[in-house]
Amino acid sequence: MPIDPNAFFRESTLRICGSLDIEKAMQQCLQYWVRFLPASRMCFHIYDPGSGIVETVAMATVAKSEALNLRTPLSAKGRRQVEEQRASRIKMVPRMGDDAVAGPVVSHFQAEDLPGLLLDLALEKKFIGTVSVFGEPGKHFDQDHVKLISLLNRPFAIALANSLRYRELRKLRDMLADDNRYLRDELRQLAGEEVVGAGVGLRDIMEMVRQVAPLDSPVLLLGETGVGKEVLANAIHNLSSRRNGPFIRVNCGAIPNTLMDSELFGHEKGAFTGALARKRGRFERADGGTIFLDEIGELPLEAQVRLLRVLQDKTIERVGGTDTIRVNIRIIAATHRNLEKMLAEGTFREDLYFRLRVFPIVIPPLRRRTEDIPALVAHFIAKKAREMKMSAPPELAPGALERLMRYPWPGNARELENAVERVLIVSRGAPLSFNDILPEPDAAPVGEPKGNGVENDAPLALDVLMARHIHAVLGRCGGRIEGEKGAARLLRINPSTLRKRMGKLGIVYGKKVAKK
Residues 223 and 365 sit within 8 Å (Cβ to Cβ): yes
According to DSSP, the residues that pair with 59 across neighbouring strands are 43, 66
Length of the chain: 516
Count CB atoms within 10 A of the CB of residue 47: 23
CA distance 497 to 492: 10
| Amino acid identity, position 452 | N
- The domain segmentation of the chain, as residue ranges, is 5-165, 192-362, 366-514
Provide φ and ψ at 420, rounded to 5°.
-65, -45
CA 65/CA 196 separation, integer angstroms? 55
- Of 238, 346, 339, 364, whose CA–CA distance to 292 is shortest? 238
| Structure confidence at residue 355 (pLDDT) | 92
Question: For residue 7, what are the contacts with CB-CB under 8 A and spacing of at least 6?
Answer: none
User: Which amino acid, residue 225?
Assistant: T
Q: DSSP E strands: which ranges in 214-370?
A: 219-222, 247-251, 266-267, 279-280, 290-294, 315-316, 325-326, 330-335, 360-362
Instruction: Tell me the average pLDDT across 347-361.
Output: 93
Q: Pick from 157, 239, 162, 164: which is nearest to 195 by CA?
A: 239
Least trusted range by pLDDT, from 347-361, 410-424, 480-494, 498-512: 498-512
Residue of 484 and 26 predicted with greater confidence: 26
| CB 400 within 8 Å of CB 419 | no
72-86, 241-255, 281-295: least confidently modelled range: 72-86
> What's the pTM?
0.58
Rounded to the nearest 5°, which phi and psi values hold at 339? -70, -30
Burial 226-260 (b: 16+ CB within 10 A, else e): bbbbbbbbbbbbbebebeebbbbbbebeebeeeeb
Cα separation, 249 vs 283, whole angstroms: 10
Q: How far is CA 364 from CA 224, 369, 509, in A?
A: 8, 7, 24
* pLDDT confidence band for 1 (50 / 70 / 90): low
Name which of 21-30, 86-95, 101-110, 296-305 the model is least confident about: 86-95
| Dihedrals phi, psi of 412, to nearest 5 degrees | 60, -150
Could you report the per-residue pLDDT of 133-177, keeping only the tens digit for each? Answer: 999 988 889 999 999 998 998 898 888 888 888 888 888 888 787
Residues facing residue 290 across a β-bridge: 247, 330
Closest CA to 336 of 278, 410, 405: 410
Could you report the per-residue pLDDT of 65-99, keeping only the tens digit for each?
998 888 899 888 888 887 776 555 888 999 999 98
The span from the CA of 7 to the CA of 16, in Å, is 14
Per-residue pLDDT, averaged over 294-305, amounts to 90
Residues 10-14, mean pLDDT to the nearest whole number: 92
Topology given in CATH for the domain delimited by 5-165: Beta-Lactamase (3.30.450)
Could you tell me the fold of the domain covering 366-514? Helicase, Ruva Protein; domain 3 (1.10.8)
Per the model's pLDDT, the better-predicted residue between 354 and 197 turns out to be 354
pLDDT digits (tens, 9 = 90+) for 410-449: 999 999 999 999 999 988 778 898 988 876 654 444 444 4
- 177 close to 441: Cβ distance less than 8 angstroms: no
In this prediction, residue 289 has a pLDDT band, given cuts at 50, 70 and 90, of: very high
Q: Which fold has domain 192-362?
A: Rossmann fold (3.40.50)
Number of H helices, E strands in the chain: 20, 15
The set of residues, in sequence order, having a beta carbon less than 8 Å from that of 270 and lying 6+ positions away, is: 320
Domains 192-362 and 366-514 share a fold: no
Q: How confident is the model at residue 486 (pLDDT cuts 50, 70, 90)?
A: confident
Mean pLDDT for the stretch of residues 449-462: 43
User: What dihedral do alpha carbons 459, 463, 468, 473 form, nearest 10°?
Assistant: 150
Please state, rounded to an integer, the average pLDDT across all residues of the chain.
84
Let me know: does 254 contact 292? Beta carbons within 8 Å: no
| pLDDT bucket at 190, cuts 50 / 70 / 90 | low
pLDDT greater than 90 at residue 32: yes
Residue type, 476: R
